[in-house]
Amino acid sequence: MKSLILALVLGMAAPLAAAACAEDRVTIRGDWGQATFTVEIADTPATRAQGLMHVETMPRMAGMLFVYERPQAVSFWMKNTLIPLDMIFASPQGEILRVHENAVPGDLTPIPGGDGVQMVLEINGGLAARLGIAAGDIMQHPAFGADAILACREKTDS
């Protein structure tokens, strides 16, 4: 009987872990806890160039994940962006390298993320500070590769 219950529990945990590591979800973990965001993916030059331009509102725990083919220096601006945004720059391993808070709508000043950036998560302005997200925290998403997916599932199962 115990084996049957364990099998049922494990069978239910796998889909939950997979959902936590879904393409439309990003989880950030730090000393403060964790937060999961529902995201749109911008992984082509056209979708990255468009970004969140002309978006008037965004749900609280939503965002856009910019995915690059390789680590590189990236810089953003707020042209045609109507809402304040926090930009979270991450390495290929998911380590948050930099958080730029409350980017000003319409501002054309470049916002550099630094070198070695492979992912950038944009969320509502001020949310990173409210949640406690900071450099050194870990971002998880399947785009970080097989190791990141395994780590995501292992942490979700525990």
28-66 pLDDT, tens digit per residue, is 999 999 999 999 999 999 999 999 999 999 999 999 999
Whether 151 is in a domain gets the answer no
Predicted local distance difference test score (pLDDT) of residue 153: 46
| Radius of gyration for the chain, computed over Cα atoms and rounded to the nearest angstrom | 17
Query: Is the pLDDT reported for residue 149 higher than 50?
Result: no
Whether 18 is in a domain gets the answer no
Number of structural domains (the chain) is 1
Whether 17 is in a domain gets the answer no
Whether 98 is in a domain gets the answer yes
Predicted local distance difference test score (pLDDT) of residue 73: 97
Residue range(s) defining the domain that contains residue 135: 24-144
Task: Give the Cα separation of 155 and 17 in Å (integer).
Answer: 9
Share of the chain above pLDDT 70, in %: 78
Whether 15 is in a domain gets the answer no
Predicted local distance difference test score (pLDDT) of residue 23: 87
State the angle between helix axes of 2-20 and 146-157 in degrees (0 to 180), rounded to the nearest 10. Answer: 130
- What does each C-alpha distance from 146 to 10, 13, 141, 151, 152 come to in angstroms? 21, 19, 10, 9, 10
Task: Give the Cα separation of 6 and 28 in Å (integer).
Answer: 29
Whether 150 is in a domain gets the answer no
Whether 81 is in a domain gets the answer yes
* CATH number for position 33: 2.60.120.1140
Least confident range from 6-10, 16-20, 57-61, 151-155: namely 6-10
Whether 97 is in a domain gets the answer yes
List all residues 6 or more positions away from 55 whose beta carbon is below 8 Å from its beta carbon: 81, 82, 83
End-to-end CA distance of the chain: 23
- Find the DSSP H helices in the chain: 2-20, 45-50, 127-131, 146-157
Predicted local distance difference test score (pLDDT) of residue 144: 83
22 band by pLDDT with thresholds 50, 70 and 90: confident
